[in-house]
Amino acid sequence: MNNHWITNQAIRARWLDEAERLKPALHSEAVSPVHEARFVDDAAAFQGWRAAAGCSLVDLASRELSEGDSVDLDFGTHLVGSLEISLEAATRGVDAPVRLHVLLGEMPIEIAAPREPFHSNMLARTWLQEETVHLDDVPGTVALARRFAFRFVRISVTGLSRQHRVRIASVIARTSGAVIEPVAPPAGLTHKLAAIDAVAVRTLRNCLHTVFEDGPKRDRRLWLGDLRLQALANAVTFRRFDVVKRCLLLFAGLARPDGLVEACVFEKPQPLPSNNLMADYALLFVPTLLDYAVESGDWETGRELWPVARHQVATITGALDAAGKLPAGDPFGWTFMDWQPKLHREGAFLGLAIYVLREAAKLAAKVEDDEALSGFTARAETLSRIAHEQWRDAAGNFISGPQAQRSLATTAWMILAGVVQDAEARAVLHPALNDPAYLQPAGPYLWHHVVHAFHLAGDRATGLHLMEQYWGKMLDLGADTFWEVFNPADHFASPYENAQLNSYCHAWSCTPSWFLRHPQFK
């Protein structure tokens, strides 16, 4: 196999240049708040806070604010962009600079709940969206310099001469996102499914900027696992294949010196690797490339990047031992699969490896790489046999780890891998659902794969039902966009031990649109 691209900087540079050329133009709209928000401490509401409607904007503009006062605003839905705040003097001759603290949140909890003492096991406090700005002169307008993701905004007057007061004359959000064409709702959906689709489409849209971001609040970056799911939904909605191509080129151009692709790349100030390797995400470059070529018809790019895809599969699946396990010491980085900390990941990862080998074989066939086609096909069969023989218990359930852990993760991925199919697949999937003996998913990323597994197993009805239950529950709880993390049993669930840091518009939650729109599922 020709792995010339790995060390050839000219090829890398060409890919990055092409990615730069494909950077989409951004579009902006001015959006006003709908009304004042009054955050009500309400045990029945999601995360304990309900955003009630306060007074009108007209009334708000006449409110006189002294140092220490603040105003909460509700923009009515989830937005991505910046904010412009105009102040007027309520007293003549405001003599000193005015300081405002601006706190922006996707959800009420980010504004209404205390932020002190800050705690997170892994993330920096700077993910809380806040700014401190000064206006030297009143009347005046201050434009926040950064982009935020928000529906709610609290503006607090934290510095003002004692004898003076100001009014907030206007607050305008300047949205930001890639230019997209409006997408018509799919025909024939129930009211509930249509609503789920609309929120899923908005989720995808609000993550679509100069790359497909994982979440516009956090961490606003291009992750391979997220990109793969976004690209699926994109193909049946905005069809911005140019952005998908740009993202694939960024991963390829920024691959590590050993040719493995990073789990995440940084786009700004210029494309940079993130120094973050994940075995599952590296492999998922393959189906992302295949899906891109199939949906866009751009087989030229499929061919161009095939060596990158092939290298991931060959390297990582080639390293699996006779038991279908990766070598110790994470030579290919960590494995994600789901946020569930208790998940024993080896079984699910083996399913993913087989799934990727089969996708790689399809791609090899298309680009006429016969050696890879036969090699990957044979390897998939070998691993599938191993899965059959070594990763099931006596009852036929897929298991992982010394405790023979059963989980929806392992089960779903074995079905995506085609290790079991049809009636046999349904026979292992159904008992896995809602059975306390099976570890359930911790978030939408894995729920996507479970829903997909039901579709593949020929039980679309259960797939849609799960979607109504899980994504529909977010909707019932007030989601304007779908979330990074959602545990119906624990509204404060957060892999960061701080629900204020969760992203509430998260790419990997956008796939209901794919299931509801793609012809393969009709």
Give how far the C-alpha of residue 403 lies from the chain's centroid of Cα atoms, to the nearest Å.
31
Residue among 158 and 390 whose Cβ is closer to a copy of itself: 158
CB 431, min distance to a copy of itself, A: 40
Stretch that binds a copy of itself, among 138-146, 251-259, 363-371, 444-452 (CB under 8 A): 138-146
| 99 is a contact residue toward a copy of itself (CB under 8 A) | yes
Please pick, from the candidates 35, 78, 220, 406, the single residue that binds a copy of itself as defined by CB under 8 A: 220
Exposure class string for 375-400: b at 16+ Cβ within 10 A, else e: bbbebbebbbebbeeebbeeeebbbb
User: CB count, 10 Å around CB of 253?
Assistant: 25
Q: Which two tokens stand for residue 490?
A: 């624990």
By the 10 Å C-beta count (0-12 exposed, 13-18 middle, 19+ buried), 30 is classed as exposed
Please pick, from the candidates 4, 43, 92, 519, the single residue that binds a copy of itself as defined by CB under 8 A: 92
C-alpha to C-alpha distances, 157 to 89, 99, 162, 286, nearest whole angstrom: 13, 6, 12, 51
DSSP 116: -
**How far is residue 103's CA from residue 51's CA, in Å, rounded to a whole number?**
15
Stretch that binds a copy of itself, among 131-139, 246-254, 282-290, 411-419 (CB under 8 A): 131-139
Residue among 268 and 385 whose Cβ is closer to a copy of itself: 268
Nearest to 295 by CA among 252, 231, 355: 231
| 391 is a contact residue toward a copy of itself (CB under 8 A) | no
In this structure, is the dihedral angle defined by the CA atoms of residues 493, 495, 496 and 500, taken in order, positive or negative?
negative
CB 126, min distance to a copy of itself, A: 4
| 258 is a contact residue toward a copy of itself (CB under 8 A) | no
Residue among 126 and 403 whose Cβ is closer to a copy of itself: 126
Q: Which two tokens stand for residue 70?
A: 């603040």
Please pick, from the candidates 2, 10, 25, 136, the single residue that binds a copy of itself as defined by CB under 8 A: 136
| 342 is a contact residue toward a copy of itself (CB under 8 A) | no
Identify residues 269-288 at the interface with a copy of itself (CB under 8 A).
269, 272-276
- Under 8 Å between Cβ of 278 and 250: no
How many residues sit close enough to a copy of itself to count as binding (CB under 8 A)? 39
CB 266, min distance to a copy of itself, A: 7
Please pick, from the candidates 140, 347, 443, 463, the single residue that binds a copy of itself as defined by CB under 8 A: 140
Please pick, from the candidates 43, 93, 342, 403, the single residue that binds a copy of itself as defined by CB under 8 A: 93
| 377 is a contact residue toward a copy of itself (CB under 8 A) | no
CA atoms within 13 A on the CB side of 311: 20
Q: In the complex, which residues of this chain contact a copy of itself (CB under 8 A)?
A: 67, 92-93, 95-99, 123-127, 131-134, 136-137, 139-140, 142, 145-147, 159-162, 219-220, 266, 268-269, 272-276
